[in-house]
């Protein structure tokens, strides 16, 4: 099951609100059983969602979380941006600024090895 914070993020986005990790207008807390609950809600112009509304986002939130892991894995596998630019420069010098270049092949290999849902 997806995290409550992710479901709230999707609820906000679907209702035209900007999600901001740093300045959240709601508060979550783990109860005595270790279950995260929505404690307070102060989002201007948007009613606090019910548990049923938030649970309707579970599948999309799970996909969002899984893709976040994949994005992080890709980011690490891509390597240093300076090295990527060097590859791209060498490809351009060799007139391989297309799918035949080494930069494209390296990026494609990372994406193929780590597909998003």
Residue-wise pLDDT tens digits, 17-60 = 988 877 789 999 999 999 999 999 999 999 999 999 999 999 99
Residues 35 and 15 in one domain: yes
What is the pLDDT averaged over residues 52-71?
A: 97
Are 57 and 94 within one domain?
no
Structure tokens at 81: 């941006």
Q: What is the pLDDT of residue 18?
A: 87
Query: Are 74 and 93 found together in one domain?
Result: no
* Same domain membership, residue 14 and residue 69: yes
Helix (H/G/I), strand (E/B), else coil: 48 = coil
Domain span at 41: 1-78
One domain for residues 72 and 102: no
What's the structural domain count of the chain? 2
N-term to C-term CA, the chain: 16
- Give yes or no: residues 13 and 60 share one domain: yes
Q: 54 and 3 share a domain?
A: yes
Mean pLDDT of the chain: 94
Same domain? 61 vs 86: no
Do 10 and 47 lie in a common domain? yes
- Identify whether residues 20 and 52 lie together within a single domain: yes
CB count, 10 Å around CB of 92?
Answer: 12
């Amino acid at each position: 099951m997806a995290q409550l914070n992710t479901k709230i993020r999707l609820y906000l986005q679907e209702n035209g609100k900007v999600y901001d990790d740093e300045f959240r207008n709601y508060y979550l807390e783990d109860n005595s059983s270790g279950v995260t609950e929505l404690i307070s809600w102060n989002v201007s112009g948007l009613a606090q969602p019910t548990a049923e509304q938030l649970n309707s986002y579970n599948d999309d939130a799970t996909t969002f979380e899984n893709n976040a892991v994949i994005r992080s894995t890709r980011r690490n596998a891509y390597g240093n941006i300076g090295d990527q630019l060097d590859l791209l420069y060498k490809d351009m010098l060799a007139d391989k600024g297309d799918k035949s270049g080494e930069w494209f092949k390296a990026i494609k290999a990372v994406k193929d090895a780590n597909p998003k849902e």
